[in-house]
Amino acid sequence: MLFYSRQNKWILSLFPVIKFSLFDFKVKRLMGRKRSRRYSEVESYDNFINVNVTGLDPVVFDKTWDNDFFGNDNGITLELGCGRGEYTLNLARRHPERNFIGIDVKGDRLCIGARKATEENLHNVIFIRIKIENILNFLPKSCIHEAWIPFPDPHSRNESGKKRLTSPRFLDIYRNLIIPGGHIHLKTDDNTMYNFSKESIGNSPAEIIHDTNDLYGSELDHPEVTTIHTTYEKRYLAESKKIKYISFAFK
Ligand SMILES: C[S@@+](CC[C@H](N)C(=O)[O-])C[C@H]1O[C@@H](n2cnc3c(N)ncnc32)[C@H](O)[C@@H]1O
Protein backbone atom coordinates (compact mmCIF):
# COMPACT_ATOMS: atom_id res chain seq x y z
CA MET A 1 0.00 0.00 0.00
CA LEU A 2 1.21 3.48 -0.84
CA PHE A 3 -0.49 5.07 2.10
CA TYR A 4 -1.12 3.82 5.53
CA SER A 5 -3.59 4.66 8.25
CA ARG A 6 -5.06 2.84 11.20
CA GLN A 7 -8.34 2.64 9.32
CA ASN A 8 -6.75 1.05 6.24
CA LYS A 9 -4.97 -1.44 8.44
CA TRP A 10 -8.32 -2.36 9.93
CA ILE A 11 -9.87 -2.74 6.48
CA LEU A 12 -6.90 -4.83 5.29
CA SER A 13 -7.22 -7.12 8.28
CA LEU A 14 -10.83 -7.73 7.23
CA PHE A 15 -9.76 -8.64 3.68
CA PRO A 16 -9.22 -12.40 4.25
CA VAL A 17 -12.62 -12.61 5.94
CA ILE A 18 -14.33 -10.84 3.02
CA LYS A 19 -12.41 -12.98 0.49
CA PHE A 20 -13.40 -16.15 2.35
CA SER A 21 -17.04 -15.08 2.65
CA LEU A 22 -17.20 -14.30 -1.08
CA PHE A 23 -15.71 -17.73 -1.87
CA ASP A 24 -18.17 -19.36 0.51
CA PHE A 25 -21.03 -17.45 -1.10
CA LYS A 26 -19.95 -18.54 -4.63
CA VAL A 27 -19.61 -22.20 -3.58
CA LYS A 28 -23.04 -22.10 -1.93
CA ARG A 29 -24.55 -20.52 -5.05
CA LEU A 30 -23.01 -23.20 -7.29
CA MET A 31 -24.22 -25.94 -4.94
CA GLY A 32 -27.67 -24.36 -4.95
CA ARG A 33 -27.75 -24.42 -8.77
CA LYS A 34 -26.59 -28.04 -8.86
CA ARG A 35 -29.26 -28.96 -6.31
CA SER A 36 -32.05 -27.24 -8.21
CA ARG A 37 -30.87 -28.90 -11.49
CA ARG A 38 -31.15 -32.25 -9.72
CA TYR A 39 -34.61 -31.36 -8.39
CA SER A 40 -35.90 -30.87 -11.94
CA GLU A 41 -33.94 -33.85 -13.31
CA VAL A 42 -35.32 -36.29 -10.75
CA GLU A 43 -38.92 -35.45 -11.69
CA SER A 44 -38.23 -36.87 -15.17
CA TYR A 45 -37.49 -40.39 -13.90
CA ASP A 46 -40.24 -43.04 -13.92
CA ASN A 47 -38.77 -44.62 -10.79
CA PHE A 48 -39.27 -41.47 -8.71
CA ILE A 49 -42.36 -40.32 -6.82
CA ASN A 50 -42.49 -36.94 -5.16
CA VAL A 51 -45.27 -37.32 -2.63
CA ASN A 52 -45.02 -33.66 -1.63
CA VAL A 53 -45.94 -32.73 -5.19
CA THR A 54 -48.31 -35.46 -6.30
CA GLY A 55 -50.29 -35.47 -3.05
CA LEU A 56 -51.36 -39.02 -3.93
CA ASP A 57 -53.47 -40.51 -1.20
CA PRO A 58 -53.11 -44.03 0.21
CA VAL A 59 -56.39 -45.19 -1.33
CA VAL A 60 -54.57 -45.29 -4.67
CA PHE A 61 -51.99 -47.55 -3.10
CA ASP A 62 -54.04 -50.28 -1.54
CA LYS A 63 -52.97 -53.88 -1.02
CA THR A 64 -52.23 -54.36 -4.73
CA TRP A 65 -49.47 -51.78 -4.47
CA ASP A 66 -46.55 -54.12 -5.12
CA ASN A 67 -48.41 -55.81 -7.98
CA ASP A 68 -49.25 -52.53 -9.68
CA PHE A 69 -45.87 -50.99 -9.32
CA PHE A 70 -43.49 -53.88 -9.59
CA GLY A 71 -45.65 -56.38 -11.49
CA ASN A 72 -45.21 -59.12 -8.87
CA ASP A 73 -45.89 -59.77 -5.21
CA ASN A 74 -42.40 -60.89 -4.27
CA GLY A 75 -42.24 -58.57 -1.28
CA ILE A 76 -40.79 -55.11 -0.74
CA THR A 77 -37.60 -54.09 1.06
CA LEU A 78 -37.51 -50.48 2.26
CA GLU A 79 -34.51 -48.24 2.97
CA LEU A 80 -35.34 -45.45 5.43
CA GLY A 81 -33.35 -42.22 4.94
CA CYS A 82 -31.67 -43.68 1.85
CA GLY A 83 -29.80 -40.53 0.72
CA ARG A 84 -28.30 -41.44 -2.67
CA GLY A 85 -29.87 -44.89 -2.40
CA GLU A 86 -26.59 -46.78 -2.32
CA TYR A 87 -27.91 -49.58 -0.11
CA THR A 88 -31.10 -49.89 -2.15
CA LEU A 89 -29.22 -50.05 -5.46
CA ASN A 90 -26.78 -52.68 -4.17
CA LEU A 91 -29.57 -54.87 -2.85
CA ALA A 92 -31.57 -54.44 -6.07
CA ARG A 93 -28.60 -55.53 -8.22
CA ARG A 94 -28.09 -58.62 -6.08
CA HIS A 95 -31.77 -59.59 -5.98
CA PRO A 96 -33.48 -58.77 -9.31
CA GLU A 97 -36.46 -60.90 -8.25
CA ARG A 98 -37.16 -58.75 -5.17
CA ASN A 99 -38.58 -55.19 -4.98
CA PHE A 100 -36.94 -52.17 -3.33
CA ILE A 101 -38.07 -48.73 -2.23
CA GLY A 102 -35.71 -46.00 -1.01
CA ILE A 103 -37.21 -43.03 0.80
CA ASP A 104 -35.70 -39.71 1.82
CA VAL A 105 -36.77 -36.09 2.17
CA LYS A 106 -33.94 -34.79 -0.01
CA GLY A 107 -34.84 -34.86 -3.71
CA ASP A 108 -31.35 -33.91 -4.90
CA ARG A 109 -29.86 -36.97 -3.16
CA LEU A 110 -32.61 -39.26 -4.46
CA CYS A 111 -31.85 -37.95 -7.96
CA ILE A 112 -28.47 -39.71 -7.90
CA GLY A 113 -30.08 -43.04 -7.02
CA ALA A 114 -32.93 -42.65 -9.52
CA ARG A 115 -30.43 -41.77 -12.28
CA LYS A 116 -28.27 -44.84 -11.55
CA ALA A 117 -31.28 -47.17 -11.43
CA THR A 118 -32.46 -45.77 -14.79
CA GLU A 119 -29.03 -46.10 -16.41
CA GLU A 120 -28.72 -49.68 -15.14
CA ASN A 121 -32.28 -50.65 -16.12
CA LEU A 122 -33.09 -51.70 -12.57
CA HIS A 123 -36.86 -52.14 -12.80
CA ASN A 124 -37.16 -53.42 -9.24
CA VAL A 125 -36.40 -50.05 -7.59
CA ILE A 126 -38.35 -46.91 -6.88
CA PHE A 127 -37.43 -43.84 -4.87
CA ILE A 128 -39.98 -41.81 -2.94
CA ARG A 129 -39.46 -38.31 -1.64
CA ILE A 130 -41.38 -38.19 1.61
CA LYS A 131 -40.76 -37.65 5.30
CA ILE A 132 -40.74 -40.94 7.18
CA GLU A 133 -43.20 -39.33 9.62
CA ASN A 134 -45.78 -39.22 6.77
CA ILE A 135 -45.14 -42.61 5.20
CA LEU A 136 -48.29 -44.25 6.61
CA ASN A 137 -50.37 -41.64 4.79
CA PHE A 138 -48.96 -43.04 1.61
CA LEU A 139 -48.05 -46.71 1.97
CA PRO A 140 -50.58 -49.25 3.25
CA LYS A 141 -50.00 -50.97 6.59
CA SER A 142 -47.96 -54.19 6.60
CA CYS A 143 -46.79 -53.79 2.99
CA ILE A 144 -43.07 -53.98 3.77
CA HIS A 145 -41.20 -57.25 4.34
CA GLU A 146 -37.82 -55.93 5.44
CA ALA A 147 -36.24 -52.54 6.19
CA TRP A 148 -32.77 -51.02 6.38
CA ILE A 149 -31.64 -47.93 8.30
CA PRO A 150 -28.01 -47.45 7.28
CA PHE A 151 -26.16 -44.64 9.04
CA PRO A 152 -29.03 -42.41 10.14
CA ASP A 153 -28.24 -38.89 11.36
CA PRO A 154 -27.26 -39.41 15.03
CA HIS A 155 -28.56 -36.03 16.26
CA SER A 156 -25.97 -36.35 19.03
CA ARG A 157 -26.79 -32.98 20.61
CA ASN A 158 -30.53 -33.60 20.61
CA GLU A 159 -30.99 -34.68 24.24
CA SER A 160 -34.50 -36.11 23.87
CA GLY A 161 -33.54 -38.06 20.73
CA LYS A 162 -37.00 -37.43 19.24
CA LYS A 163 -35.54 -36.87 15.77
CA ARG A 164 -33.55 -40.11 15.76
CA LEU A 165 -34.95 -42.68 13.35
CA THR A 166 -35.13 -45.22 16.18
CA SER A 167 -37.06 -43.04 18.66
CA PRO A 168 -40.39 -44.48 19.91
CA ARG A 169 -42.54 -42.52 17.42
CA PHE A 170 -40.52 -43.86 14.46
CA LEU A 171 -40.54 -47.42 15.84
CA ASP A 172 -44.31 -47.17 16.06
CA ILE A 173 -44.46 -46.24 12.36
CA TYR A 174 -42.24 -49.22 11.45
CA ARG A 175 -44.39 -51.56 13.55
CA ASN A 176 -47.39 -50.59 11.43
CA LEU A 177 -45.56 -50.62 8.12
CA ILE A 178 -43.56 -53.83 8.34
CA ILE A 179 -45.07 -57.32 8.52
CA PRO A 180 -44.73 -59.07 11.90
CA GLY A 181 -41.36 -60.85 11.98
CA GLY A 182 -39.94 -58.67 9.15
CA HIS A 183 -36.33 -57.78 9.93
CA ILE A 184 -35.19 -54.19 10.41
CA HIS A 185 -31.42 -53.59 10.11
CA LEU A 186 -29.68 -50.62 11.71
CA LYS A 187 -26.03 -49.73 11.04
CA THR A 188 -24.28 -46.82 12.72
CA ASP A 189 -20.82 -45.60 13.67
CA ASP A 190 -22.21 -43.44 16.47
CA ASN A 191 -22.20 -44.58 20.11
CA THR A 192 -25.03 -42.28 21.20
CA MET A 193 -27.22 -43.50 18.34
CA TYR A 194 -26.34 -47.14 19.07
CA ASN A 195 -27.04 -46.99 22.82
CA PHE A 196 -30.18 -44.91 22.32
CA SER A 197 -31.49 -47.39 19.71
CA LYS A 198 -30.82 -50.40 21.93
CA GLU A 199 -32.81 -48.83 24.75
CA SER A 200 -35.60 -47.61 22.51
CA ILE A 201 -35.99 -51.01 20.77
CA GLY A 202 -35.77 -52.76 24.17
CA ASN A 203 -38.70 -50.67 25.42
CA SER A 204 -40.81 -51.46 22.35
CA PRO A 205 -42.68 -54.68 21.49
CA ALA A 206 -39.75 -55.75 19.31
CA GLU A 207 -37.28 -58.57 19.64
CA ILE A 208 -33.57 -57.94 19.08
CA ILE A 209 -32.21 -60.59 16.69
CA HIS A 210 -28.61 -59.51 16.44
CA ASP A 211 -26.62 -56.86 18.25
CA THR A 212 -22.93 -56.00 18.03
CA ASN A 213 -20.91 -52.88 18.78
CA ASP A 214 -18.17 -54.10 16.43
CA LEU A 215 -19.67 -55.58 13.27
CA TYR A 216 -16.39 -56.40 11.52
CA GLY A 217 -14.87 -57.83 14.69
CA SER A 218 -17.91 -60.10 15.14
CA GLU A 219 -18.69 -63.54 13.75
CA LEU A 220 -21.75 -62.35 11.84
CA ASP A 221 -21.92 -63.96 8.41
CA HIS A 222 -24.57 -61.97 6.54
CA PRO A 223 -23.23 -60.65 3.20
CA GLU A 224 -25.98 -58.00 2.84
CA VAL A 225 -24.90 -56.54 6.19
CA THR A 226 -21.13 -56.83 5.84
CA THR A 227 -20.39 -56.36 2.12
CA ILE A 228 -22.49 -53.30 1.23
CA HIS A 229 -20.73 -50.08 2.20
CA THR A 230 -22.31 -46.69 1.53
CA THR A 231 -20.17 -43.57 1.15
CA TYR A 232 -20.77 -42.88 4.86
CA GLU A 233 -19.66 -46.35 5.90
CA LYS A 234 -16.54 -46.18 3.70
CA ARG A 235 -15.61 -42.88 5.36
CA TYR A 236 -16.09 -44.27 8.88
CA LEU A 237 -14.12 -47.42 8.06
CA ALA A 238 -11.28 -45.26 6.67
CA GLU A 239 -11.32 -43.39 10.00
CA SER A 240 -11.03 -46.80 11.78
CA LYS A 241 -14.39 -46.31 13.49
CA LYS A 242 -16.17 -49.39 14.76
CA ILE A 243 -19.47 -50.06 13.01
CA LYS A 244 -22.38 -51.05 15.25
CA TYR A 245 -25.24 -53.19 14.01
CA ILE A 246 -28.63 -54.13 15.43
CA SER A 247 -31.32 -56.19 13.72
CA PHE A 248 -34.78 -56.48 15.23
CA ALA A 249 -38.34 -57.51 14.40
CA PHE A 250 -41.80 -56.76 15.76
CA LYS A 251 -43.78 -59.73 16.99
C1 LIG B 1 -26.54 -39.58 7.14
S2 LIG B 1 -27.58 -39.76 5.76
C3 LIG B 1 -27.39 -41.48 5.38
C4 LIG B 1 -27.83 -41.82 3.99
C5 LIG B 1 -27.74 -43.31 3.60
N6 LIG B 1 -28.54 -44.15 4.45
C7 LIG B 1 -26.31 -43.78 3.55
O8 LIG B 1 -25.87 -44.55 4.42
O9 LIG B 1 -25.59 -43.34 2.62
C10 LIG B 1 -29.19 -39.69 6.52
C11 LIG B 1 -30.31 -39.47 5.51
O12 LIG B 1 -31.55 -39.58 6.20
C13 LIG B 1 -32.44 -38.61 5.66
N14 LIG B 1 -33.49 -38.34 6.67
C15 LIG B 1 -33.29 -37.91 7.95
N16 LIG B 1 -34.46 -37.78 8.60
C17 LIG B 1 -35.43 -38.15 7.71
C18 LIG B 1 -36.86 -38.23 7.79
N19 LIG B 1 -37.49 -37.91 8.91
N20 LIG B 1 -37.54 -38.64 6.69
C21 LIG B 1 -36.89 -38.96 5.55
N22 LIG B 1 -35.53 -38.91 5.42
C23 LIG B 1 -34.82 -38.51 6.48
C24 LIG B 1 -31.57 -37.42 5.35
O25 LIG B 1 -32.16 -36.56 4.38
C26 LIG B 1 -30.30 -38.10 4.87
O27 LIG B 1 -30.28 -38.23 3.45
What does the pLDDT look like over 175-223, one tens digit per residue? Answer: 999 999 999 999 999 999 999 999 999 999 999 999 999 999 999 999 9
- For residue 35, the model assigns a pLDDT of 78
Residue 18 CA, ligand 1 centroid: distance in Å: 34
CATH number of 9-250: 3.40.50.150
pTM for the model stands at: 0.85
pLDDT tens for residues 158-172? 778 899 999 999 999
Residue having the nearest C-alpha atom to atom 24 of ligand 1: 81
SS3 179: coil
Cα–Cα separations (whole angstroms), residue 5 to 8, 10, 11: 5, 9, 10
Q: Does ligand 1 have an atom closer than 6 angstroms to the CB of 109?
A: yes
User: Which of 90, 105, 138 best tests ligand 1's pocket when mutated (most atoms within 8 Å of CB)?
Assistant: 105
Q: What is the tens place of the pLDDT at every residue in 60-87?
A: 455 456 666 788 889 999 999 999 999 9
How far, in Å, is the centroid of ligand 1 from the Cα of 155? Answer: 12
Whether 62 sits among the annotated catalytic residues: the reply is: no
- pLDDT value, residue 38: 80
The 10s digit of each residue's pLDDT in 81-133 is 999 999 999 999 999 999 999 999 999 999 999 999 999 999 999 999 999 99
Domain boundaries, the chain: 9-250
Residues written for the chain: 251
Decide the pairing of beta strands 99-104 and 125-129. Answer: parallel
108 close to ligand 1 (CB < 6 Angstrom): no
How far is the C-alpha of 182 from the C-alpha of 144, rounded, in Å?
Answer: 8
Helix, strand counts (H, E) of the chain? 9, 8
